[in-house]
Amino acid sequence: MRDDAPNSWESRADAFSLYGFTDLPSVHRRGAVVLTHGEGPYVVDVHGRRYFDANSGLWNMVAGFDHPGLIAAAQAQYARFPGYHAFFGRMSDQTVLLSEKLVAVSPFDRGRVFYTNSGSEANDTMVKILWFLGLAEGHPERRKIITRWNGYHGVTVCAASMTGKAYNAQFGLPLPGFIHVGCPHYWRFGQPGETEAEFTVRLARELEATIIKEGPETIAGFFAEPVMGAGGVIPPSAGYFPAVQAVLRRYGIPLIADEVICGFGRTGELWGCQTYGFVPDAIISSKVLTAGFFPMGAVILGPDLADRVQSAAERLEEFPHGFTASGHPVGCAIALKAIDVVMHEGLLDNVRALTPRFEAGLARLAEHPNIGEWRGKGLMGALEAVRDKATRTPFEGHLSVSERIANACTDLGLICRPLGQSIVLCPPFITTEAQLDAMFDRLDTALRQVFAEVA
């Protein structure tokens, strides 16, 4: 609980911080959790309290908070070449090495990479690339971007317009030309009597109807997360991506896989698109790209888009876009090490090994009468709280049920994330079976406590 002394960490955080994506009544009542360091999958606050971080920071700290190899890679590169850009035909050797590595481990047989500082900027960059191509190839009307309701693509103005969340209306978004189609959450949006296969067919038909209504010649691209992360861990309905990709191909519309959360192992495969059996036209990467040890994003273009962008840029004699820290040598060195850690130090193997136990833990907690659904893929999952399980009726919003559950977990030394009526779990890839079991035990205690208060 908070310390209200004028010089306390909580009071200083309140005085000087503008909290983002934070339940303000809750933080004002309880105080911010101010952290000093991490130990493996645990973080420690200024009062010495230790928490198992079941959110891997923000989906990204998959190797824990003190991985010696990642720290050493950062230190070595800072000593060797601490910073540079990727403008004017100049870039660090680490940037070249990382681009080679990203194409090699991608689903593409060849391609090109462009670096940003975040997933939001990478999505913005991809939109600009599509607009750049439209103009360069004589189709200036090809500007519209299609995403899904409840999808999340970032917070910059363009990425926020892509994000299908109601809160963006508070900023007067989305901008014109950003179109949202149906969310592939069968449990929530399937119609009475509709099978999952029929639901998938309906969503594909609705996408095609939207394309025809808007005009196929005006659509620049379709962006989708393999599993919707900040929407509450929503895997697609069965057969969704093959059905959607078939529609997009009929109209020559690129499919962009937003792998900011799913990429580099979270779903049990290196890429979420591999988990769901499709090859996109481009991939957006961030988060696990550096295991959270450096802010970085990347646009990985597949062969067709890479060739077209390169051709358009050569005609113009440049691609007029970039960031000061694009391809930062320290970030690239860390990313090279992070990819090696995930692929060759057993982290991806551990995700696969833990998945059955993780799913069993979710299923056990979903037996509670006020949990309507458990869902997930790999080492990412969610529990949906409901007032009535049979009718899937949610709790009243003013009860802030998921926030209460997350706060109760914090009091028990567990960090998890409230999202709408859901509690989201995405533990680090280094998690052990014992730590996973303890995570579920603490969450079970929190669920029982909160539901006894509100149900």
**Tens-place pLDDT, residues 308-333:** 999 999 999 999 999 999 999 999 99
pLDDT tens, residue by residue, 155-169: 999 999 999 999 999
Q: What is the average per-residue pLDDT within 364-369?
A: 97
Domain boundaries, the chain: 33-63+346-454, 70-344
> CA dist 399 to 20, 396, 406, Å?
21, 6, 13
What pairs with residue 423 in β-bridges?
A: 383, 418
Cβ atoms of 221 and 145 within 8 Å: the answer is yes
Specify the pLDDT at position 1.
Answer: 66
HEC-encoded secondary structure of the chain: CCCCCCCCHHHHHHHHCCCCCCCHHHHHHHCCCCEEEEECCEEEECCCCEEEECCHHHHCCCCCCCCHHHHHHHHHHHHHCCCCCCCCCCCCHHHHHHHHHHHHHCCCCCCEEEEECCHHHHHHHHHHHHHHHHHHCCCCCCCEEEEEECCCCCCCHHHHHHCECHHHHHHCCCCCCEEEECCCCHHHHCCCCCCHHHHHHHHHHHHHHHHHHHCHHHEEEEEECCCECCCCCECCCCCHHHHHHHHHHHCCCCEEEECCCCCCCCCCCCCHHHHCCCCCCEEEECHHHHCCCCCCEEEEECHHHHHHHHHHHHHHCCCCCCCCCCCCHHHHHHHHHHHHHHHHCCHHHHHHHHHHHHHHHHHHHCCCCCEEEEEEECCEEEEEECCECCCCECCCHHHCHHHHHHHHHHHCCEECEEECCEEEECCCCCCCHHHHHHHHHHHHHHHHHHHHHHC
> Quick one: CATH architecture of 70-344?
3-Layer(aba) Sandwich (3.40)
Portion of the chain with pLDDT greater than 90, in percent: 98
Cα torsion 405, 408, 412, 413: sign: positive
Q: How many residues does the chain have?
A: 455
Measured CA to CA, the distance from residue 172 to residue 72 in angstroms comes to 44
Specify the pLDDT at position 311.
Answer: 98
Sheet harboring 255-258: ordered strands across? 112-116, 297-301, 282-285, 255-258, 219-224, 144-148, 178-181
**Distance of alpha carbon 424 from the chain centroid:** 12
Cβ atoms of 84 and 90 within 8 Å: the answer is yes
Q: Which residue has the tokens 């969310």?
A: 183
Full-model pTM:
0.96
70-344 and 33-63+346-454 share a CATH fold: no
What confidence category does residue 455 fall into, taking pLDDT thresholds of 50, 70 and 90? confident
pLDDT tens, residue by residue, 277-294: 999 999 999 999 999 999
Q: Which CATH class is domain 33-63+346-454?
A: alpha beta
pLDDT tens, residue by residue, 169-206: 999 999 999 999 999 999 999 999 999 999 999 999 99
Report the candidate in 185, 158, 138 with the shortest Cα–Cα distance to residue 256: 158
Query: Does residue 223 register a pLDDT over 80?
Result: yes
